[in-house]
């Protein structure tokens, strides 16, 4: 599994490159049980009314 050293640290802006290298590392290691899920969608920021406050 020496190809794992070629996988960059995951940051927000390099997901595509990171994913490709992780997939390739698993192929080289002949690991076929890896869960294959897409990147999660970033949630939208909530919109607050002028009358909304943090007091409960």
Give the model's pLDDT for residue 40: 80
> Which residues constitute the domain of residue 6?
1-34
How many helices and strands, by DSSP H and E, does the chain display?
1, 0
Structural domain count, the chain: 1
On whether residue 25 sits in a domain, the answer given is yes
Give the model's pLDDT for residue 45: 82
> Could you tell me which of 17, 8, 7, 9 has the C-alpha nearest to residue 39?
17
On whether residue 48 sits in a domain, the answer given is no
Question: Under a CB-based contact definition with an 8 Å cutoff, are residues 29 and 5 in contact?
Answer: no
On whether residue 44 sits in a domain, the answer given is no
Give the model's pLDDT for residue 27: 80
On whether residue 30 sits in a domain, the answer given is yes
Q: To the nearest 10°, report the CA torsion of 7, 10, 21, 27.
A: 90
On whether residue 21 sits in a domain, the answer given is yes
- The whole-number mean pLDDT for each consecutive block of 10 residues of the chain, a chain of 56 residues, reads 78 89 82 70 79 65
> Which are the contacts of 22, defined by CB distance < 8 A and separation ≥ 6?
7
The pTM of the whole model exceeds 0.75: no
Write phi, then psi, for 19 (nearest 5 degrees): -60, -45
């Amino acid at each position: 599994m020496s190809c794992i050293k070629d996988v960059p640290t995951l940051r927000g802006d390099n997901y595509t490159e990171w994913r490709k290298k992780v997939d390739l590392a698993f192929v080289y290691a002949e690991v076929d049980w890896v869960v294959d899920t897409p990147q999660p969608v970033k949630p939208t920021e909530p919109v607050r009314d002028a009358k909304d406050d943090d007091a409960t």
